[in-house]
Structure 1
């Protein structure tokens, strides 16, 4: 079964987001734009994810055609109100994972749906509970999986997710990078509102 959504443009180079849309049987093409992902100081955590997702969407202002929907997303990992971005190197990744070890953190994904006529955005929050990890386990994971393209320095679908995450509260696919069930609902509502 394929979905009857209009042409979808996914503005993400993340192979995980692309795979999730494929698994949802959504036809899409990937179009990338260079976007400065900085954000104003003082935004809340969810506001930050939304701000960046909307900024990515607005980069298509000049190029979007009538009938197309651009989907953009930004996923942030937060612990004790600190946002963990993508690690710069092995030591930075080690520092992040040591911070997450044995604690609960939040993964927030902001998603924007953008057409030539309107912008709609939403966010999803998932709580993730890590069991305590040894330094050896963290080093093994970093060496084997090189998680430098991932916020918080880990992928839940990787080895560390299989052995280090006790439980989650909320959407699993949100932690992967796109809250699929919510996205599907929001796309349907978005299209119905346009009728």
Structure 2
């Protein structure tokens, strides 16, 4: 069924995703999921035992979209498409989440230095009885980073709210020798795939 207006609900706290949606002219209202409710997070982002990075990112994005859609129904909100996404960085089959400390951030950058890693972003859009999802994978090659460079970068606020401990749109852009994939996907929302999903659920885009 077609959306009744040109807005969507965005189930994400990421300021980068908001910027990217605005870039392609998508209007949205935030529908934020809780991480600290008395009963725990609305959607857990813990990696399950033996869970592969691709399975993880697909599951989390899907669960976020499904939970957000249930909130829309429960709160009797205007029916619109709900978009959720999840991004993870992986190298050697290991998921690198958001560093919780300076030491973790340094260790992540040391692991990525001089190597190619993968950035996986899965986008899920739910609307009425439709559930559409696409996962985009980018290959990112980092230059070899000196200890001084890693230390200086990790002394900034930039690494600590980002999967893999870096933001390609910020200071860490100078570390990237080559990418094969989607620059916006590495930021957290691949725009080509996102636009395709929104068109599928009836949102008009140029």
Could you state the TM-score of these two structures normalised by the residue count of structure 1? Answer: 0.90
Q: Distance in 2 between matches of 1:43 and 1:25?
A: 36
**Counterpart for residue 185 of structure 1:** 196
**Counterpart for residue 38 of structure 2:** none
The reply on whether 1:29 has 2:29 as its aligned counterpart is: yes
Runs of 4+ in 1 over 3 A off after TM superposition: 64-67
Kindly report which structure 2 residues correspond to 1:42-191, keeping only aligned pairs within 5 A, or say none.
42-60=50-68, 61-64=70-73, 65=77, 67-161=79-173, 163-191=174-202
Match of 1:38 among 41, 46, 50: 46
Per-residue CA distance 1:147-179 (angstroms, 9 max, x = gap):
110000000011121x21101001000000000
Q: Distance in 2 between matches of 1:137 and 1:54?
A: 37
Q: Distance in 2 between matches of 1:76 and 1:105?
A: 11
How many Å apart are 1:86 and its aligned residue? 0.3
Q: Are the structure 2 counterparts of residues 39 and 94 from structure 1 closer, same or farther at C-alpha, using a change threshold of 3 Å?
A: closer
Corresponding residue SS for 2:132: strand
Is contact 1:39–1:52 with CA below 8 Å preserved after alignment? Answer: no
How many Å apart are 1:76 and its aligned residue? 0.2
Q: Distance in 2 between matches of 1:25 and 1:41?
A: 39
**Counterpart for residue 13 of structure 1:** 13
Unaligned runs of 5+ in 2: 35-42
Per-residue CA distance 1:70-128 (angstroms, 9 max, x = gap):
10000000001000000011110000000000000000001110123222111000000
Is contact 1:109–1:177 with CA below 8 Å preserved after alignment? Answer: yes
Per-residue CA distance 1:11-37 (angstroms, 9 max, x = gap):
111111000001111111111012221
Is contact 1:38–1:52 with CA below 8 Å preserved after alignment? Answer: no
Could you state the TM-score of these two structures normalised by the residue count of structure 2? Answer: 0.85
Q: Distance in 1 between matches of 2:116 and 2:52?
A: 19
How many Å apart are 1:58 and its aligned residue? 1.6
Is contact 1:7–1:67 with CA below 8 Å preserved after alignment? Answer: no
Corresponding residue SS for 1:17: helix
